[in-house]
Structure 1
Amino acid sequence: MAFYLPPGVDFFPHPFLADNDGLLAVGSEVSLNQILLAYQYGIFPWSNSEDPLLWWFTHPRCVLYPSKIKVSKSMRSYLNGNRFEWSVDRDFAKVISLCRKIDRPGQGDTWITSEIHNIFLELHEMGFAHSVEVWNENEIVGGLYGLSIGKIFYGESMFSLQANASKFALIKLCHFLKEREFDLIDCQQETRHLMSLGAELISAETFMDHLRLNIFKSGKNEDWTL
């Protein structure tokens, strides 16, 4: 049974109290400080705009270790060719806007509410939130964004307007994070798309160990612009 969080609450129940589906709590409010606090414990908001605010701790956890990204033969042609170009943090606002607008069959309304949208714009200005853009002829055709705390990147959403553009973005992100000695990407929820690219499921206990160790990692918010 999910816990109810009244407005103004600045704490969460222990993540291991989440139900079998991963639902931990209902209510409270979405604020910048709440987002930063929640993600440090592997908790994230996800609900349709017309629903009450839902906070989740999915388990087992879908994660991707940057060094384990799988690159298929078909994707190598994209990486070795010149069809796509890529950048980091060149147009965060456009990426999150496209993630919000993209049609996702079977998922109903977007979970990226106006409040979430505005908070992540502010987190980007603070150096916590980052985006990867994929370009084709000076147009953004794919990308992703997420939150960086310590040496964990918390993936939020991705989109693709051309075939394989989101895969290209994720592969480039993994290379980028590997160079910076990041431990993992928190994918939050398992999908066939992510699993085909090398994501794996780990236990809640193992994921929590990563989170505890991450507390001691550098939290410096560097300029990622590329």
Structure 2
Amino acid sequence: MSPLRLPWLDDRPDAPFPDPSTALREPDGLLAAGGDLQPLRLLAAYRAGIFPWFSDGEPPLWWSPDPRVVFRTDRVATSRRFRRSLRTSMWTVRADTAFETVIAHCAAVRRRGQHGTWITGEMQDAYVRLHRLGHAHSVEAWDGERLVGGIYGVAIGRAFFGESMFSLVPDGSKVALAGLATRLHDWGWPLIDAQVGNPHLLSLGAEAWPRGEFLAAVSRLVDQPGLEGSWTSAFGSLPASALARPPA
């Protein structure tokens, strides 16, 4: 369906979004078009369970799919082979020490069935702004001082909205995801939004929730005390070997 036949957001950064229940069934979750990627609008979108996803040459497109794919932070699945490799791993997991590098690597990943990237230069600039304001964060897997994988997303209250992840070597993104889930669970944050499912995410323990259930959980979590600003100190340096325990 053409974006011109969707609800169109005006230029006010605080313009309200349509009710997610009015999103299209096909393509699943397409809700609105227009507006921009200024911090106020992005944060309002995430608070409402909405995220942007569009390609170069398109206006901003806003989505709230049904079902919504999430990870419970205490149930990220790790295979026995993966846990065995973690036990002897010298890698570490850190946060917010290479945000711009992480998002650039995520943009460069070639994904099956996609031509180009949806993480355009405009999108990268928008999330770098959010990062500098203390709302967007990266979690990175390091082999010494060599970056081997990472994930980035947006945090509001005690909700983490994952955007993308990458690996430069096998298991790099898995270690970053497991480290993020472990630390969020330590902090009392129960969920990581993964937006739209695929076989890889489901193999790692992601669950498909009805949109209404997801939105109800988000509405509670975004109003709880969170952790704004840099996560580098609070996250610390987490040894990958500490992630070897089996899922709950």
For 2:60 and 2:152, the matched residues in 1 are separated by 21
Structure-2 residue corresponding to 1:128: 135
The whole-number CA distance in structure 1 between the counterparts of 2:41 and 2:132 is 17
Aligned equivalent of 1:6, options 7, 10, 17: 10
Equivalent of 1:17 in 15, 22, 27: 22
Q: State which of 141, 157, 160 in structure 1 corresponds to 2:164.
A: 157
Q: TM-score, normalised by structure 1?
A: 0.94
Q: 1:85 aligns with which of 77, 89, 92?
A: 92
Q: Please, which of 96, 99, 109 is the counterpart of residue 102 of structure 1? A: 109
User: 1:64 aligns to what SS in structure 2?
Assistant: strand
**AA of the residue aligned to 1:7:** D
Aligned residue number for residue 188 of structure 1: 195
Q: Aligned-pair distance for 1:198?
A: 0.9
Correspondent of 1:73 among 48, 68, 80: 80
Determine if contact 1:43/1:55 at 8 Å carries over to the other structure: yes
Tell me which residue corresponds to 2:67: 60
TM (norm. structure 2) is 0.86
Q: Secondary structure at the match of 1:59?
A: coil
Report the alpha carbon displacement of residue 38 of structure 1 after superposing the two structures with TM: 0.3
The CA deviation at 1:222 is 5.0
Q: CA deviation at 1:5?
A: 2.1
2:184 alignment partner in structure 1: 177
Unaligned runs of 5+ in 2: 237-248
Deviation larger for 178-187 or 123-132: 123-132
What residue is the counterpart of 2:175 in the other structure? 168
- Confirm or deny: 8 A CA contact 2:105 2:166 kept in the other structure: yes
Where in structure 2 are the equivalents of 1:17-56 lying within 5 Å?
Answer: 17-20=22-25, 21-56=28-63
- 2:133, 2:229 within 8 Å by CA — same for their partners in 1? no
Deviation beyond 4 Å, 4+ runs, structure 1: none
| Gap runs ≥5 in structure 1 | none
Alignment length (residue pairs): 226
TM-superposed CA distance for 1:53, in Å, is: 1.7
Shift of 1:82: 2.1
